[in-house]
Amino acid sequence: MIEDNRYNQLIEQEARHWGEVRPDPANPQIWHDPKLFEIFFGKEYRHLVERTVANGPRVLELGCGEGNLALELVQNGLDVTAIDLSAERIDRAKHKAEQIQAPLQPIFLVGDLNTINLEPQKFDCVVAHDSLHHILMLERLLDEVQKTLKPGGRFITIDFIGMGTLRKITAAVLYAMLPTYQPYKAKWNLRQRLPAFLASEQKKRKDVERGSASMLHQESPFEEISQRSIITEIQKRFAVVESFTFNPFWYYFAAKVKLSGELKYSTGKMFRKADTLLTKLHLSRGAYFFMEARLK
């Protein structure tokens, strides 16, 4: 159990972090480059949208960020309520919503998914994209999701479930050696962050509980606080309809390695194909998973 004061302090820091996230030229991310996003997440993201549209019309989105998914869903005729911790992100989402035409406007709310209370049997579908791995009280949240779904309702998610230690070490060594947008000197200075990068979710949770911060991400204390347990906790509560993992490795480097122009995208496509083969042959588990689950 985490003490209230400490929780409040950490969640305020988390909210501040998300309000301030901006593209960083030294540490580019796939989600800030639409072409790379399409290569590594496009197919799975469209599948998430299609399955949500098929299971509407009343949808709740968890951790909606700046509202991209919610806006796509309302443009597909759904009635969407979307929640995020960051008031700044919700403001940006509301601003974007003013620029689009849709049968129903989305309802954007600021809220903490760790402590939220949801109305019983209100939604046909609950969807989460890349947000559950930030949730400390995941079991409580999944109980709330169960409660707020109508009978037969669906829970659909794409999320990060992490890499094993060996793959993380390989990634760290390759990141240190390959030419990246982060200069070599700055990478050397990042070595203090290695314990947090290598830490399992169990180690991170222990740190949160005992008031230490050595295994936590500096700016975002709940970064990767839930990983593989997301799958097992969903399985305990729901009947899985479809589940698969993807992106075992290269997704991590795709935006960070310094490759000029088209080479970044052609290399990305090549590695994505190799990665897809690895997961299809069950030679490697992806760092992300898709799951559609039904209320039992």
Ligand X SMILES: C[S@@+](CC[C@H](N)C(=O)[O-])C[C@H]1O[C@@H](n2cnc3c(N)ncnc32)[C@H](O)[C@@H]1O
Which residues of the chain form contacts with ligand X (CB under 6 A)?
14, 18, 63-65, 68, 83-86, 89, 112-114, 129-131, 134-135
196: which residues sit within 8 A by CB, 6+ positions away? 204, 214, 215, 216, 217, 218
- Tokens standing for residue 78: 């759904």
Residue with tokens 């019309």: 57
**Closest distance to ligand X from the beta carbon of 277 (Å):** 26
**Dihedral, CA of residue 250, residue 253, residue 259 and residue 264, to nearest 10:** 40
* Token code pair at residue 77: 């005729």
Take residue 69 and report the two structure tokens written for it. Answer: 């998914």
Question: In terms of CB distance, is 131 or 182 closer to ligand X?
Answer: 131
- CB of 67 vs ligand X, minimal distance in Å: 8
Nearer to ligand X, 70 or 149 (CB): 70
Instruction: Give the shortest CB-78-to-ligand X separation in angstroms.
Output: 16
Name the residue among 30, 33, 124, 141 with its Cα closest to residue 83: 141
| Closer residue to ligand X (CB): 122 or 170 | 122
CB of 72 to ligand X, least distance (A): 11
Least CB distance to ligand X at residue 61 (A): 7
In single-letter form, the type of residue at position 66 comes to E
| Share of the chain residues as helix, strand and coil, in percent rounded to the nearest 5 | 50, 20, 35
Q: How far is the CB of 45 from ligand X (least distance, A)?
A: 9
Total residues belonging to the chain: 296
Residue 97: how many other CB atoms lie within 10 Å: 19
Residues 76, 104: contact at Cβ < 8 Å? no
> Which residue lies nearer to ligand X by CB, 14 or 201?
14
| Smallest separation (angstroms) from ligand X to the CB of 89 | 5
Residue nearest to ligand X (CB): 65
- Of 30 and 257, the one with the shorter C-beta distance to ligand X is 30
Query: Please, which residue, 90 or 295, has the CB nearer to ligand X?
Result: 90
Q: Based on CB atoms, which residue is closest to ligand X, 259 or 289? A: 289
Angle formed at CA 72 by CA 95 and CA 108, multiple of 5 degrees: 45
Q: How far apart (Å, rounded) are the C-alpha atoms in residues 256 and 29?
A: 7
